[in-house]
Amino acid sequence: MSETGQAAPLLSVRNLRTHFHTRSGTAKAVDGVDITLARGEILGLVGESGSGKSISGFSIMGLVDPPGRVVGGRIEFDGRDLLGLSDAEWRRLRGNEIAMIFQDPSMTLNPVLRVDTQMVETVLAHADVGREEALRRAREALVMVGIPSPDERLRAYPFELSGGMRQRVAIAIALINDPRLVIADEPTTALDVSIQGQIIHEMKKLCRRKGTALIWVTHDLAVVAGLADRIAVMYAGRVVEFGPTADIIRRPLHPYTGGLIASVPSRATRGRRLHQIPGMTPSLSDLDGGCAFRTRCERASAACAVAPEESVPEPGRTFRCWHPLGGRA
Ligand SMILES: Nc1ncnc2c1ncn2[C@@H]1O[C@H](COP(=O)(O)OP(=O)(O)OP(=O)(O)O)[C@@H](O)[C@H]1O
Ligand code: SF4
Ligand SMILES: [Mg+2]
């Protein structure tokens, strides 16, 4: 506990900046992102394609490859400065205390190895146990993520499994060493809606039961509305709104968040054409320093040529906008 009586966060990301230096310019994929996550908390990281969600996740995991580079900021996990870790320290942490689930399970699964081999290796890389115990944990992890006939699946190769099963195995591998933080990067987007719903429901239950913190990355606000404790809305490399899920859904402050909510199908909008935010996400290589949403924003004014500072309308909520919803346009 700190002097203020608040428990220290599990993850604290401050002013994170990850840029890609390419021939066509510098893409500021992540440009001043702040995220705080408590132990066992579920955060939804939401935004359109190209807003910097995956690169934020990769930055936290130490997985940014050239030409990308973390050029500024601070990432603390349980009080440890992640940006200062050596490769050996990263190997001890990744897959053990922090794990990632990717959109494509083939990022995790090796096609030429059986599921049991891959799972046992993941356990043995971090725990001082024998093969038999590692295999027992592998089986238990498959059961935990709702895989029927786990013994049969353990002996299978990834190509022998359906897409949904492969993703469940990748999730089981991420969870097998009881990480304290899981970053899930759109892991259900490629699956059909009912399997997506099942996996999300099971992940939530598992994280709650084990006290695992989860960052769920998605372009779909509806997905995190029922899953996350808090939501961070990203636009063009920045978190433009952050706060408790229910508050954000009930009373969005940033016009972009308002647009995302209006474009989610609901009972109220059944039979009507859904709202679509006009225009496209700008290229992150030629942002001019003003509010990046202003080419698409109905509330834009001359003031918006200057990037809005972060405002704190109430404890636990932040947004970046000169003319928030609910205020004067
Ligand atoms: N390898 C790369 N080379 C150059 N720029 C890159 C590279 N990877 C990402 N970027 C830049 O980073 C931006 C953000 O990418 P990121 O993958 O984080 O988006 P995202 O929000 O995860 O989108 P999606 O929903 O499509 O997965 C891209 O729009 C691009 O400008
Ligand atoms: S700062 Fe201006 S352009 Fe940006 S979201 Fe707010 S009103 Fe719209
Ligand atoms: Mg992505």
- Residue 310's nearest CA partner among 237, 232, 240, 231 is 240
Does residue 308 line the site of ligand 2, with CB under 6 A?
Answer: yes
pLDDT at residue 116 in the model: 97
Does residue 47 line the site of ligand 1, with CB under 6 A?
Answer: yes
pLDDT one-digit tens code per residue, 211-221 = 999 999 999 99
Do the bridges between strand 317-319 and strand 230-235 make them parallel or antiparallel, or are there none, so unpaired?
A: unpaired
Q: Which atom of ligand 1 is nearest to the CA of 234?
A: 21
Distance from Cα 41 to the centre of ligand 1, integer Å? 26
Give the angle subtended at the CA of 324 by the CAs of 319 and 329, to the nearest 5°.
Answer: 160
| Ion ligand 3 nearby residues (CB, 5 A) | 54
Residue 149, classed as helix, strand or coil, is coil
> What global pTM score does this model have?
0.94
Q: Give the chain's mean pLDDT.
A: 91
Give the angle subtended at the CA of 73 by the CAs of 235 and 39, to the nearest 5°.
Answer: 80
Do the bridges between strand 311-314 and strand 238-244 make them parallel or antiparallel, or are there none, so unpaired?
A: unpaired
Distance from Cα 305 to the centre of ligand 2, integer Å? 9
Does residue 100 line the site of ligand 2, with CB under 6 A?
Answer: no
Could you give the angle at which helices 115-124 and 131-144 cross, rounded to 10 degrees?
110
Q: Which atom of ligand 1 is nearest to the CA of 219?
A: 25
pLDDT one-digit tens code per residue, 94-118 = 999 999 999 899 989 999 999 999 9
Q: Which residues of the chain have pLDDT under 70?
A: 1-6, 266-274, 327-329
Residues near 255 by Cβ (< 8 Å), separated by ≥ 6?
A: 293, 297, 298, 299, 321, 323, 324, 325
For 137, list phi and psi in degrees, rounded to 5: -65, -35
Distance from Cα 321 to the centre of ligand 2, integer Å? 5
Confirm if 241 and 326 have CB atoms less than 8 A apart.
Answer: no
Distance from Cα 316 to the centre of ligand 2, integer Å? 21
Distance from Cα 285 to the centre of ligand 2, integer Å? 20
For a ligand 1 pocket test, name from 16, 51, 183, 238 the mutation site with the most ligand atoms within 8 angstroms of its C-beta: 51
Beta bridge partners, 69, equal: 19
120 burial type by CB count under 10 A (0-12 exposed, 13-18 middle, 19+ buried): buried
